[in-house]
Amino acid sequence: MTVVIDCNIFVMCLTSHSPYHRIYQSLIAGRFNLNVTTDIILEYEEIIQRKYNVSTANTLVTLLSELPNVNIIHSNYRWRLIENDLDDNKYCDCAIAGQADFIVTEDKHFDVLKSITFPAIDTVNIEKFMELID
């Protein structure tokens, strides 16, 4: 299974005290493939620095660059599927270019994807993803 993970999911799963930490552990264990772009990694880094600290952000970025199940995707086309938050489109572009099975997100801006038939992008919330990686 190949996925794109919205930044809000990483924020919720990094700490070992989180009920969602199993997502982070499953990534490290290679239970799923993660597609990212440079823009997505930069957002992860920025938000993790703000929510946690610079050291945690640097550790995550280093980990993502070293894991064999993390694919750096180069998206050459901008689909602009999400109009309410244009910054979220980088996740859609990555999912399409990397042929991801779905985007994992809790962000309601992605709900618009349910009404778009082409290109079709599936999304799952964090609870459903937890079921899928078990």
Would you place residue 111 in the very low, low, confident or very high pLDDT band (cuts 50, 70, 90)? confident
Beta strands in the chain, from DSSP E residues, in sequence order: 2-5, 33-36, 70-72, 102-104, 123-124
Residue where the block lists tokens 């801006």: 109
Residue where the block lists tokens 């309410």: 84
Q: What are phi and psi of 82, to 5 degrees?
A: -105, 110
Give the list of residues 6+ apart from residue 108 with CB closer than 8 angstroms, or none.
Answer: none
- What is the rounded CA–CA span in Å between residue 92 and residue 126? 17
Report the CATH number at residue 28: 3.40.50.1010
Give the list of residues 6+ apart from residue 20 with CB closer than 8 angstroms, or none.
Answer: 9, 12, 13, 126, 130
At 61 the pLDDT is 95
Average pLDDT of the residues of the chain: 93
Domain count, the chain: 1
Where in the sequence is the domain holding 69, given as residue range(s)? 2-133
Please state, for a pLDDT cut of 70, what percent of the chain lies above it. Answer: 100
What pTM was estimated for this model as a whole? 0.92
Strand order in the sheet with 2-5: 70-72, 33-36, 2-5, 102-104, 123-124
At 117 the pLDDT is 78
At 79 the pLDDT is 82
- What is the rounded CA–CA span in Å between residue 23 and residue 43? 18
- pLDDT tens-digit readout, 31-86: 999 999 999 999 999 999 999 999 999 999 999 999 999 999 998 878 887 878 78
